[in-house]
Every structure is written in structure tokens, then in C-alpha cells.
Amino acid sequence: MADPLTDGSALARVRSSLLSWFATDHRDFPWRRTTDPYAVLVSEVMLQQTQASRIAERFPIFMSRFPTAAALAAAGEAEVLVAWSGLGYNRRALALRRAAREVARHGWPQGVAALERLPGIGPYTARAIASLAFGEPVGVVDTNVRRWLVRRFGLRADRPPRDLQVLADGLAEAGHRADVAPWTHATMEFGASICTARNPRCNICPISDECPSRGAATVIPVPRQAAFAGSDRAHRGAILRALTRAPDQRMTMRVARGLVPPDAVGRLVAGLERDGLVHRSGARLVLGGAPEPAATIGS
């Protein structure tokens, strides 16, 4: 079997088949209708750890409230956290705001390496923005894409991530620049809806004819998440949820103790403070990090 990293004809066939499939058979999400880099950034941050169907409801609301990077940059932390409430992993919202502030000040960085220097932006998100917003032919490898690359090209499940990135880049570079965004969407949609982790739909797969894993799909191991109920993450979420609903996004520590195990409240609040999600003002807990000290004259 030819090395998939260098077999140009195999890459071209996969590209052609997936693009034809995606053109007629894919889920319609609002973030797929735009190449605005800010909208791409917001959607990609939201989609981390949260199901696409849920984001489909919340993305338009968030974008209506903060339609540009400048609008998000100008908003207070508490306002952003209220808008984010219910999506989980609230530190994402603060990182998104910090990235928006950098963009509002300096404009959009050009290239994957420069995009990675934005707060909270890793290699995956940087590549997604580069390809979907700026048309750079770079591969975007998430869990879904990794799964189908391993299966379709007959790779070992423990193949080094670098090899998979090289393969994804080769696929991205094998087509026309006009196809960059559709190709990136197609790769992610295919893994999410056809080449799924369990019970892959090989019977309707557009690239199954040459797939060595057809009918015997490799199960790609993924780390198991700890149970949510009763976890620190659940308790932190309860405190933050109550704050987003409280008048002026404030509440007493006494109220906080009624939301979580009393012996854990101090530790939980301290963790939220370290993450910049809350701060204390006297006897009250306030949503958002502590206000920055006012600049002194001449500083």
C-alpha cells in the first residue's frame, strides 16, 4: 500500500469525493455561511467541548449581542459571562474576550503561527481561522478528522499527531484555493456525521470503496471524562449560574454556601477567583475578575 503521506492520486480522489458529498449532504449551521474571522473564532471557541446542535441556538444570539471583535472587547467580563451562561467551560468566554481585545487593538494576525499567539488560541483553532476565514490551505485536525484519516488511510491508531497533520495538510493543499473553506467544513462534517466513533455509516460513505476499515472500523481511543454530577466543575457551574441570574451579578457568600457542599465553598471560590471568573467585594461575591486598578497620572 502506498504511503498516504505521499500518494497524491489517493489524496485527490478523497478530496473530490468528499467535496461532492458535502455539496449536497451536510448539516446547515450559521457559522458555515460566513468567512468573517471573528465569527469563525466565536464559533470555534464555542464548539470546544459543546455539541454543535446547542451552539446552533446560542451562536446567533451571542453574535447579535457582540457582532464584532470591537463590541466584544468593549464589553465587561460580567456581561460576557452572562451571555455565555449555559455553554460551560466559562474560561473560554474570558479567553475569547481577551483575543477580541487583541484584535481590536492590532487587527487580525496573518498566518497560523501569528494566530496562535492570540490569547486562548491553540493550533487547531488557529488553523480553523486561517482556512475558513483567510483561505489558507492548511489541514484542521480535530477528534472527528483524526478518526477518519486513520480509518481511510489504514493507519495505526497511535500514529504520531505530526503524521496526521502532514496528511491533513497534504489533502488541504491538493485542491483549489476557492475550495479551502468547503473542504475544511467537509472534513469535520464527515467525521461527525458519517465516519462516527461508533456504528460508522459505511453503507452511505462516499469514500468507502477504497477504505481498508470498511465494516471493521477502528475504535480510536479517547480519554474518558470524569462524571460531571457532583464534580467540582458542576459545583463551580452552580455558583456561576446563580451569579449570572442574580441582581447586578452579585451574591453573598452565605448564598454560595447554600449552592454547594459548605466545606468546599472556600476552595471552589478561590479557584474561580484564580481563573478570573469572580472576585470578592466585601462580603459579596461578584461575577467577573477584579477591576483593574485605575491608571495614575503620568504612568
Q: Which residues are catalytic?
A: 44
Q: Positive or negative CA dihedral for 142, 225, 264, 242?
A: positive
CA separation for the pair 85, 26 (Å, rounded): 29
And the C-alpha cell for 173? 493543499
DSSP letter, residue 1: -
CA 180 to chain centre: 19
Classified as helix, coil or strand, 96 is: helix
d(CA 230, CA 228): 6
The rounded Cα 175 to chain-centroid distance in angstroms is 25
Which grid coordinates belong to 28? Answer: 446547515
Nearest to 193 by CA among 32, 57, 51, 50: 51
Strand partners, 281: 284
Cβ proximity of 60 and 43 under 8 Å: no
DSSP letters for 163-176? HHHHHHHHHHHTS-
Residue among 256, 258, 263, 257 at smallest CA distance from 285: 256
Half-sphere exposure of 276 (CA within 13 A, CB side): 13
